Amino acid sequence: MNTTLSAATGGLTVFILTMAVDHVECVSSLANGLLAGLVSITAGCDSANEYWALFAGLIGGVTFWSSSRLMKYLQVDDPLDAFSVHGACGLWGCIVSGLTRYFVRSAEIKILTGCLLGPLIIIAWVSLCCLIMFGTLK
């Protein structure tokens, strides 16, 4: 139920934002919004209740929409919006996973800290590896 609620909320959020700003009914943005909602709730699906699933999908949709616009503004070649769906919403999914475990399941603060620091460590590791790889290829 949580995955369905989050996906539907993410899809509707992106669809409504795209209609409101661009005045276009875009099916691909709806589909990516559905994926954004799914990515946003996957890590914390077992610990979330229906309200957290709706919240995760809503913020996931806004995250995807904002990230997609930023990538287009920066002229990053990402025609499928893969970074916006999986990177930006995956980061949000890690964060919301810790939030749901802390607030809904009353987990220890260590869980929340790990879910907040984990994405930062992943970003640092990937950046270092890419710097080494692309520096070597250059």
Per-residue model confidence (pLDDT) at position 114: 87
Q: How many domains does the chain have?
A: 1
Which DSSP category does 74 fall into?
Answer: T
| Residue 86 DSSP code | I
Instruction: Write down the pLDDT at residue 134.
Output: 96
Residue 45 backbone dihedrals phi, psi, to 5 degrees: -60, -40
> Structure tokens of 62?
């806004």
- Structural domain range at position 119: 2-137
pLDDT tens per residue across span 77-119:
999 999 999 999 999 999 999 999 888 888 788 888 888 899 9
Count of alpha carbons within 13 Å of 117, Cβ hemisphere only? 6
> Which ranges of the chain would DSSP assign to H, the alpha helix?
2-22, 27-42, 50-73, 82, 89-103, 109-137
pLDDT at 111: 86
Mean pLDDT, the chain, whole residue set: 95
pLDDT tens per residue, range 116-129: 899 999 999 999 99
Q: Are 10 and 29 in contact (CB under 8 A)?
A: no
